Amino acid sequence: MQTGLDVLHTTDWDRTLHAYGASGDAPGRLSGLLADDPDTLTRSLDYLYSAMLHQGTLYPATVPTVLFVAGLLERPGAGRPHPDAGAGPEPLRAALLGFLRDTAESADTGESDAALAERARLSPAERDRVVEAVLADDEDAWEEPALEALTWQVVVDLRAAAPVLRDAVQPLLTCQDALLRSRAVEAAAAIAALGGLDLDLSGAADMAETRDEAAVIVLAKGEAGGDTSEFLTHTDPAIRACAALAPALSTNTEATRVLVESLDDPWEADRWFGTRPAAFGGHVRFTLVRTLAERAGPGDAERLLPVHRRMAALSSAYTAEADCGPLLELAFARAPGDGVPDEPTAVQRAYLRALLDNDEIWSGTVANFSVRLKSLGLPMDREGVRELVGP
């Protein structure tokens, strides 16, 4: 399977699609990743996410793009700083590894090979028809059911490419740069999970020097389906929490206890890392509380009330959805079609009082938290919540 410049030159880009239709512009835009001009490089990096992985969506042109990017990792120029790195001298290689990781995560649907093949079933004639419709700017083409089969074929193709992507990333697992090692570990874990491949992080683990690196390795092992229970008793609370996040430990009571413990001081959890592992996305506390809520049931709402109170106390209008939404959903869990009881329970009132006690949560109107309140049948404004809680 070709990678790097070979892919750029041999792919029939005019006959494949990205987020905006025909991908005939891809060779010119992607070759900007080889440029020394900062503006050109920035536009090419933006192009990866705007055209080839738009809001996490995959397209037929994503496959050759990923293979092209994988082939750039070994080029000397990929070690130079890139203009989107902010204050730090983050190399271009780190950004490319991030794109490989994000693409692999988007493609990891959890479907079996047989299920994927069935979803991607499409005759050559039907494929040509829908591609022609998109290329002709037919507005209805994007609603074609056949286009969904094309998207599933992308997942099939990316899964098939996983061994090649793994081989491209593997040498960087033991490179001298700590940041690159971490980015390579994250990409390798996502690729292994996508392709059902073995993940060997022993070399990276031997070279790990900081809490940040150790956390990335533990998170990667969990993401790839590994058992991280041995780290639940680690002396470092950050490492314990990263181990507890592993999907394989979703029913492990000790892992749940560790997650609760990690939220004894949510602010402190947010300060654990100098360079936050990609697995967290936003604030560390967001992932911890969301995972905790996903593993709990309605009967756990009272037990987790102290966690909710701590989250609500530090929240704001801009973070309330991520801080308070998951456990609020747990406290007001109900059968489909049921509304909020006329008389909230004592526990439900306590959850709402925790929100009322923080002025910052109500200092502005942010749609996502209001939508969450509405979805639970709750008033969307502070006065309405106060009236529901009562004296």
50: which DSSP letter?
I
pLDDT at 335: 47
pLDDT at 84: 61
pLDDT (tens digit per residue) in 71-121:
999 887 666 666 665 445 568 899 999 999 999 999 998 888 888 888 888
Q: Work out the angle at residue 190's Cα, subtended by the Cα atoms of residues 110 and 31, and round it to the nearest 5 degrees.
A: 115
pLDDT at 135: 79
DSSP string, 213-254: HHHHHHHHHHHTT---GGGGG-SSHHHHHHHHT-GGGTT-HH
Whose CA is closest to 121, among 161, 148, 160?
Answer: 148
pLDDT at 336: 45
17: which DSSP letter?
E
The gap from C-alpha 379 to its chain's centroid, in whole angstroms, comes to 31
Query: How far apart, in whole angstroms, are the C-alpha atoms of residue 192 and residue 71?
Result: 18
360: which DSSP letter?
G
pLDDT at 133: 82
Which residues contact residue 39 at a Cβ distance below 8 angstroms, ignoring those fewer than 6 apart?
83
Q: Which residues of the chain are modeled with pLDDT < 70? A: 77-90, 334-342, 365-366
